[in-house]
Structure 1
Amino acid sequence: MFLPSQVQRASANGKSDHRLVVEPPSSDSSPDTEGVTPELEKAGLLNKTKIAEGGRKLRKNWNLSWVVLVGNSLVFFKDPKSQNPDSWKPGNSRPESSVDLRGAQLQWANDLSSRKNVFKLRTVTGNEFLLQSETESLIREWYRTIQNVIDRLVSLKRTHTQTRTHTHSHAHSHTHMHAHSNISEHKRVKSRLKKLILRRPPLQTLQEKGLIKDQVFGCGLELLCEREKSSVPQFVRKCTDAVERRGLETDGIYRVSGNLAVIQKLRFAVNHERLDLDDPQWDDIHVITGALKLFFRELPEPLVPYGFFHDVVETVKLSDYLDKVDRLKLLVLSMPPHNQHTLQHVIQHLRRVMERSDSNRMTTQNIGIVFGPTLMRPENESGNMAINMVYQNQAVELLLSEYQQIFRSY
């Protein structure tokens, strides 16, 4: 991994210039960079968010980063608040993270974000990043430069492999007969492995038998519903049914936190085995409500999609109440079908909770406080979170109060 170690100042035409000096590769560096001091390819400010780590999806959290492309690495530094890019010195900043570009893949990904000019970088380890700039020409230049580095690394690796193969063959030519024997054995092993692979059951069969189960937590809503062939995720239905059977009278239902360790145990069970919420280990209804809220918080995109958040907030701000209700209804009808149906199911369930507020003390306002940030959130948290939370809560309150009017056509 190549990281900036210092900055040297040089003078040309009377102007100062910052040159990035990187440390030479360590002894365990890849062969394609061995003995070569990596050069700075490109550096500049980009918006960056990590959306997957080791194949596990993460919530988007955009940040402005100083991005440095050097050698076989893309290095991210936190945005220098007090300096402009011309005076920024990497030697004075610690890298936030770095990416090894060997075997990495690039693709345009405007469909993964409401922002424009976005591309995705995926590493061989399953980490995924989105990089974005408001300037189209700038982001295209970054894409082209990174892709050139990736292609060069592939070419260098291929050349090095061929060189090593040729050298090895020349050095051991006198053991040709022994090598031939090893090749024959290798072919026999390869043939056996191939037969074994061809005999193994397909993934779908293993899933049908319950031997392999797809993830529920952290899975996109549309993908999950299509996989389950349902309009509302099965886990959501199971949780709301359990609460309505044995939790409506519970004081502080949804507001009181359950045991976090047991919630995580339930989360694991949902992802890896068949779930029975009547099992005694899930007796605490607060564990079930906590797991349901966690499910919604871990959706890659919230139940109220990112693209609707600003319109919902502006709708809640309207002074005319009837206009406010009509506009919120139109927004709900514009959402993707799975989001519509799941939102309707959740709000209908929360109305049943609210109807028992004399016992559980979960009034419309209390439910709004709990579920406002759970069901909707802005894609970029850089705004005033306190003000956003007020409007999020009021939106949920309006959905509860005007359920019949908003969802009447369903």
Structure 2
Amino acid sequence: MQKSTRADTSAETLNSTHQCSGAVQMRIKNTNNHHDRLSQTKSMILTDVGKVTEPISRHRRNHSQHVLKDVVPPLEQLMVEKEGYLQKAKIADGGKKLRKNWSTSWIVLSSQKIDFHKESKQQALSNMKTGHKPESVDLRGAKIEWAKEKSSRKNVFQITTAAGNEFLLQSDIDFIILDWFHAIKNAIDRLPNDPSYPSRKLELFKIQRSSSTELLSRYDSDVKEQKPENLKSLMFRLHHSASGSSDKNRVKSRLKKFITRRPSLKTLQEKGLIKDQIFGSHLHTVCEREHSTVPWFVKKCIEAVEKRGLDVDGIYRVSGNLATIQKLKFIVNQEEELNLDDSQWEDIHVVTGALKMFFRELPEPLFPYSFFEPFVEAIKKQDNNARIEALKSLVQKLPLPNHDTMKVLFGHLNKIVAKASKNLMSTQSLGIVFGPTLLRAENEMGNMAIHMVYQNQIAELMLSEYNTIFGSEED
């Protein structure tokens, strides 16, 4: 007898037309083979888009979460505006000064931040894919300025963040550093000054919502307890919360009245409450008050440097402690007597830093604005003797305070050059330090890099030809 094995064919229910994109297929298979088991499979036919649309919740809490997502833009919207190699040095972290160490960095500028990569561009891209985070600088509330006194290198500018971090960026190529400066400045100008925006806006939204909910819940619980002291306390909190805005308005009104009624600077000076300032005043104003043609502070600093700083390595190039320099500036502005031999001014770089700051903060530089172009035209002359004669003629036409102060200063710098074997400060080094400080254009928008070259050359020639330009007499 021949055995025959027949398998029961499973009933399949299929929709062959598939008119509905969400149709479900069911297939049940039964077999007599004991190794097989009952199986049931389900398959979902996706929509034409290729994904199942996520349902939109109408719950208030979920709706508020959708609103909060719109407050802060996603990181993908931070488009890269500029990238390239620059020399970078971080000199402060949260206000704490750091040792200046220059290194080459691949820098990426986006709409509101700068990323510093230690590696090359290719390595930086691969690290970003693997999740490696570079050092970032938030540009919201940041400041950017040229920092010629912070380094002996040329073309240096500084970025100071709202968190107190300070970075120096530098390139030897003029047009590259100018392009970076303007790109970063434009990015900062487009951003709000408040570095906590928009996170602060998000935080306020959460606080306002949570505080109102909490207040109402406390109100319900206190009412249920029916305790008079609780009700009294709650009513006080409600009244205090409601009157908060009016209190702020009253404070603003009082501050506004105080500001409009505050005495002028001239009135305070006449009453002796504020003394005449040395730093930040015009050179001729300082000299008129002192009945001199050279400010006494300039003489004091030069005397101290010639007494104990001529042999110091990097004199006028090395920066002193900024906090101590600011303290010296405050004392000079408030007091008439100053003893630079005091132990608190032991670091001679503090004295030189204060002297450079005095000239840098003059409203009009030692070389007056009206003389800037004539001095530049003089240094452009091809013949060296013609350049010297042109400079000498211009120096003789300077106002007396500018002429005499310039003569004293460059005479002092010549003594620094005479000790160049010990202090390592040549005419070129001093020209780089003092050129942009003493000589600058009133409007430096377009030709800053070109002007920098001429500034240094003029200062160098004034030093090397001091006797010819100012005469051989000594003060």
TM-score by length of 2: 0.42
Q: Choose 1 or 2 for highest CA Rg.
A: 2
Q: Which has the higher contact order (CA 8 A, sep 6+)?
A: 1
TM-score by length of 1: 0.46
